[in-house]
Amino acid sequence: MNNGSTPLIHLHDVTKVFLTDEVETHALSGIHLDIRTGEYVSIAGPSGCGKSTLLSILGLLDTPSRGNYALKGNEVANLSFPDRARIRNREIGFIFQSFNLIGDLTVYENVELPLTYRGLSASERKQHVTEALERVGMGHRAKHLPSQLSGGQQQRVAVARALAGKPAVLLADEPTGNLDSRNGEAVMDLLKELHAGGATICMVTHDERFAQHAERTVHLFDGHIVEEPIAV
């Protein structure tokens, strides 16, 4: 793990307020968080505590109401939508609970799709996709459709899609949420292997068993980071 002075991700006093029918909901309040290159961090807490909101801000899918977010030393909290999309495509790999694969595209095409927005040549895309599928043990299924795969295999393809662009950080949102325990453990083992190979991972989970796979757990409660998990 890199212990240099500049963290990969730096959040300072990040607050997110949602306004609905003149009611203010503070989803996040005064979040301070550093994640360094090569770390494996889990964000844990009860439903509604702000985990997904925090991950959306980390992934540049949403912007904070207040506060600063630096990615690789560059302030990114208040960039324009096109700039956020460009950085998201190049620096952030997403692994979703629901896989989010496109049903009428093959495994290969699903993994390749985000790379088509990067201006890579066909040969470069092929190299990236092939390497990513081999890393997750799905190279032999490249020509299959998602419907021909098990849930665990679909999630492996989703991990390959996240990896293919060689992002600075992998953001995993309840990556085992739609899987049975056996496939869930297999995906967690895969993430552990990727971390051992140098990947930086930030994972949201409500499952304490899976949170323990990470090096460090950040506990959220009512939009605040707390020192220890609060019993609910």
pLDDT of residue 218: 93
Residue spans per domain, the chain:
38-60+81-226
pTM for the predicted model, two decimal places: 0.89
pLDDT of residue 2: 47
pLDDT of residue 207: 79
Round to whole Å and give the CA distance between 17 and 24.
Answer: 6
Digit-by-digit pLDDT tens for the chain (232 residues) are 445 578 999 999 999 999 888 888 889 999 999 999 999 999 998 888 999 999 999 999 999 999 999 999 999 998 999 999 999 999 999 999 888 999 999 999 999 999 998 888 999 999 999 999 999 999 999 999 999 999 999 999 999 999 999 999 999 999 998 888 889 899 999 999 999 999 999 999 887 888 888 999 999 999 999 976 555 5
Report the alpha-carbon angle 144-128-106, nearest 5: 15
Which CATH topology does 38-60+81-226 take?
Rossmann fold (3.40.50)
- At 61, the amino acid letter reads L
Q: Are 8 and 92 in contact (CB under 8 A)?
A: no
Report the alpha-carbon angle 38-202-228, nearest 5: 105
